[in-house]
Amino acid sequence: MLLRSCCVYGAGILCVLLLIAGIAMALAQVFQKLINNTIKEQVVLENGTEAFSVWRDPPPPVYMQFYFFNLTNPAEVLEGDKPFVLQIGPYTYREYRPKEEVKFMDNGTRVAAVNPKTYVFEPNMSRGSEEDIVRTVDIPVVTAMEKFKDTLLVSRIISDVMKAKGIGMFRTFRVGDLLWGYEDPLLKELKQFVSDDHFGLFFKKNSTDDGDYIFFTGKQNYQDFARIDEWNGQSTLNWWSTKECNMINGTDGASFHPIITKTEKLYIFSSDLCRSIYAQYESDVSVRGVPGFRFVPPSEVFANLTINPDNAGFCVPAGNCLGSGLLNASVCKEGAPIIMSSPHFYQADNKFVQDVLGMNPNKEEHETVIDVNPLTGLLLRGAKRVQVNVYLHQIPAFSQTEKIQTLVFPVMYLNESIVIDEESAKKLYAVVTKANVIVNIPFIVISVGILLGVIFIVFMCRQQTPASSEQQPLLSS
């Protein structure tokens, strides 16, 4: 009898203790903090860590896919009609992007590296080949027109050369040439005025690096993990103040700091966009079974000045704004009249969509997305989607342009995408599952407490109510 009440009261006391301990641990987030600290210590660029090897040589394949807009009515466009384009592609390349010449600096708080990218054509993931023909605007021609439009003598020479050689504003190209470079007939004639008579959208980009980077390792502050500090000797913060071709607080595109919250902004650097843009939390996702947050650039990133005055910095030259969804990249492209946007002018003024027949913007296909595992900051899936357009308008010095409408003419868009590989996903799944179990320890403790509480109450009630003759001997035995 004494032993029984001891047990019952013991259970009652234990129940209260467990409930107090469990609730205290849950409120203080002891285990959450423990896990966060462990992850913060592990996710650091340090020789020998997993984070370092993933950063140096990311295991999942990266694909670069190009889509071109094939112009069907060049003669009519020159007469002032709307262009009618047909999308072709994708032309898919596997992208290899290891970090090289990796050197740790400043007691391991920063690391220097170069990041050459190599592109290898993937016929199986392409529709068409590099031999395909595409008709579009001749970018060296319009660039030369734009550059020398106010120089009477040179513009006369260019105009005459174009007429003599039958060079127009539109012509056909081999897809491989337009991407990787070809000798341009007009530039060849103008050799004395230009530095290089070759042109290509990705000319000299294969197997070359784009300069010396210095990254933070995250050792001092986990939020700086893999963040670019300097590029070619320039601090990225100074770049922000120049407002041109800037690269602010960017990452190398595939590494984010651990412990990501739903309220923060993720910055992504894009050398194609000439700037960095930010993305905000949109929804919860699951990629190969691993939980993640989807981040997308909010429409304010692309909005015009009325809606987002912060975008004033992106009107170049100052005060010269093109409308929502467009970015003048001329300064970053050696004076070529290049305008960047989202594919099919997604999230841009409807005017630009209407001006070109064949545009069909939609969220699923044309938005840039980042799916990231919030605990570790690892990229689960990403797609960077950017369109290259050319600004066309009447230039008095060139009679070829006398009837053309002012147009933002789409040439090509790209989708650079990555999905976590099966093996990395498995490893990450194990980490996330383990973390979940640990985080739930307070709730397990609370559950045990509640169970004991129930047992305690049941026994107490039985003690109070008159016991049946059958139960009495069983319980006291």
Ligand X SMILES: *[C@@H]1O[C@H](CO)[C@@H](O)[C@H](O)[C@H]1NC(C)=O
Nearer to ligand X, 162 or 338 (CB): 338
Nearer to ligand X, 22 or 218 (CB): 218
In the bound complex, what is the minimum distance in angstroms from residue 142's beta carbon to ligand X?
A: 12
How many Cβ atoms from other residues are within 10 Å of residue 212's Cβ?
14
In the bound complex, what is the minimum distance in angstroms from residue 212's beta carbon to ligand X?
A: 15
Rounded Cα distance between 71 and 170, Å, is: 9
295 φ, ψ (degrees, to nearest 5): -110, 135
Nearer to ligand X, 418 or 439 (CB): 418
Nearer to ligand X, 10 or 309 (CB): 309
In the bound complex, what is the minimum distance in angstroms from residue 22's beta carbon to ligand X?
A: 37
Nearer to ligand X, 107 or 464 (CB): 107
Rounded Cα distance between 47 and 51, Å, is: 9
Q: Give the three-state DSSP class for 327.
A: strand
Contact 441, 25 (CB under 8 A): yes
In the bound complex, what is the minimum distance in angstroms from residue 381's beta carbon to ligand X?
A: 8
Residues near ligand X (CB under 6 A): 47, 63, 65, 70, 88, 102, 104, 106-107, 118-121, 128, 132-135, 180, 206-207, 240, 248-249, 304-307, 316-317, 320, 322-324, 328, 330-331, 343, 365-366, 383, 385, 391, 415, 417
Nearest-10 crossing angle of helices 422-439, 30-42:
150
Residue entry with tokens 């990501």: 260
In the bound complex, what is the minimum distance in angstroms from residue 380's beta carbon to ligand X?
A: 13
Rounded Cα distance between 216 and 282, Å, is: 27
**Size (the chain), residues:** 477
Give the H/E segment covering residue 75.
Answer: helix 74-78
In the bound complex, what is the minimum distance in angstroms from residue 224's beta carbon to ligand X?
A: 7
Residue nearest to ligand X (CB): 415
Nearer to ligand X, 241 or 283 (CB): 241
First to last CA, the chain: 9
DSSP label of 107 = G
In the bound complex, what is the minimum distance in angstroms from residue 406's beta carbon to ligand X?
A: 9
Nearer to ligand X, 255 or 456 (CB): 255
Q: Give the pairing of strands 338-341 and 407-419.
A: unpaired
The residues facing 375 across adjacent strands are none
